[in-house]
Amino acid sequence: MKDSSLPGYLMVSEPGSFAEHTIRVRKPQILADVLATNDYSPAVVAALGALEREIRREPVAPLPEGAWGAEHWADALAPWRRRRWVELPWFLAETYFYRRVLEAVEYFRPGPGFLADPFAPQKRAALDEALPALCAFLDGLPSDADDEAATGAWLYRSLWGNRADLSNIAVQQGTRAAADHDPAALLVDHGRDACSLFAGGRVRRLDVACDNGVMELLSDLGLVDALLGRGLVREVRLHLKPQPYFVSDAMIPDCRETIRALRRGADAALRGLGERLAGYLRAGALGLRTDPFWATSHFFRRLPAGLRAEMSGADLLLLKGDVNYRRLLEDRHWPPTTRLEAVAGHMPAPFLALRTLKAELIVGLREGEAERLDAEDPDWRINGRRGVVHLVGEPMRGARRGGNPASAGPELCYNGLRT
């Protein structure tokens, strides 16, 4: 398919769109929240204020020469030179915004801000609130559930956990962020097929492209425990962000802190989950990975060779959340009836996309379904109330991989630092 025949990107310049609202309203609010939850020097406060003014009315500024990742961002922004933020493609504007926040708080510079997550206070507060909700879910799980039922309970918990998104408080306030399963809200539901794959031993290695931390990551880790603890998979690799990104997106330190919080939990069920997860890490059955790709503006078609080779070794990829879904669809205005297989045939392995809708793009719907939803709920594409469990491809019968999970190799390093 020629580029000229592809649908256009979602643009910030589309009047009344969620993309426009994101840059004009949500991003300045995120900057205000960062200032309100951190005690920064006058220089950092001034830099964050300058970024807000730039977003509101000035052309997009480049990163300083020699800044971490400056070459990537210079290339990405080259076609939009001297444009304002409201004139950019939405995905580029959002991803570059978070890189600029890190520059403003001096995240990559030696000093007080070095590797200090500007969103950490918000994540800590959200984790304190999320643990009791997970505890209630654990208490409600039937002890005699078979493999498919237990996997299904955690799979849908993982899906709806994606509603809890610190970068989009409006979505949280309009949904049940506690991740209650709502079958009627599923627009595509291949959950039963996915659970059958796991129960049938068709997935020996699962790679998870993670999204948000806190509530969503807790749910993801519960799914990991169900799969590894029941022997349904032999190895799980979590692909996490290399740096703070989209406020609540999970990094390796966030994952480790979440497991520590479980192990410190007031409830025995939480502590047991934390201890089992720590055991999987020690045994090598659970691996934590990262790559600079996950914090760039690139779509999945441009996976770097090393990451593509690693992910191709998985029997199934689990792609969590809206950002990964947008990477699949390249943030384009595809017709809602487009087949996901036709758009994302370049992926290195079969995949399962779990996503609650928080962006104005969707594929895989039946003829007339989008029009019906438009009439019922004008904000259905962005308010987080609906979701998809979309399976594309199928693992080969029997295992494609063998060997000892403990031989998976060390965690990757980022910028020369252990992540």
DSSP for 288-330 reads EEE-GGGGSS--GGG--HHHHHHHHT-SEEEEEHHHHHHHHHT
Identify whether residues 307 and 170 lie together within a single domain.
yes
Give the alpha-carbon dihedral of 386, 392, 395, 397, to 10 degrees. Answer: 100
Predicted confidence (pLDDT) at residue 411 exceeds the cutoff of 60: no
Are 10 and 17 in contact by the 8 Å Cβ rule? The answer is yes
Q: What is the pLDDT of residues 38-93, one digit of tens each?
A: 999 999 999 999 999 999 999 999 999 999 999 999 999 999 999 999 999 999 99
Please report, as a single letter, which amino acid is at residue 120. A
Residues 329 and 391 in one domain: yes
Tell me: do 390 and 296 sit in the same domain: yes
Task: Provide the residue range defining the domain that includes 49.
Answer: 3-104
Are both 125 and 97 inside the same structural domain?
no
- The residue from 71, 104, 137 where one domain ends is 104
138 and 241 co-located in one domain: yes
* Residue for token pair 């005699």: 144
How many domains is the chain partitioned into structurally?
A: 2
* pLDDT score of 403: 36
pLDDT at residue 72 in the model: 96
Q: 244 and 392: one domain? A: yes
Sheet containing strand 286-290, edge to edge, reads: 186-189, 387-392, 351-356, 316-320, 205-209, 235-240, 286-290
Do residues 285 and 395 share a domain? yes
Distance CA 126, CA 248 (A): 9
Whether 142 and 89 share a structural domain: no
Q: Could you tell me the CATH number of the domain that includes residue 22?
A: 1.20.930.60
Do the strands 387-392 and 186-189 form a parallel or antiparallel pair, or are they unpaired?
Answer: parallel
Across the chain, mean pLDDT equals 91
Q: Report, in angstroms and rounded to the nearest whole number, the Rg of the chain calculated over CA atoms.
A: 21
Helix (H) and strand (E) counts in the chain: 16, 9
Give the type of residue at 331.
D
Q: Residue 179 above 80 pLDDT?
A: no
Place of tokens 């989950």: 273
- pLDDT score for 412: 31
Same-domain pairing of 22 and 98:
yes
User: What CATH number does the domain containing 394 carry?
Assistant: 3.40.50.10880
Do 16 and 161 lie in one domain? The reply is: no
The pLDDT of residue 291 is above 70: yes
C-beta separation of 80 from 92 below 8 A: yes
Distance, first Cα to last Cα, the chain:
39
Please check whether residue 11 lies inside any domain of the structure.
yes
Between CA 295 and CA 147 the distance in angstroms is: 35
List helix spans (H) across 168-304: 169-173, 191-199, 215-229, 252-263, 268-283
Domain end: 77, 104, 131, which one?
104
Q: How confident is the model at residue 413 (pLDDT cuts 50, 70, 90)?
A: very low
Which tokens sit at 241?
Answer: 């962000």
At 225-267, the pLDDT tens digits run 999 999 999 999 999 999 999 999 999 999 999 999 999 998 9
CA atoms within 13 A on the CB side of 44: 22
Q: Give the residue with greater pLDDT, 82 vs 405.
A: 82
Domain boundary among 44, 77, 104: 104
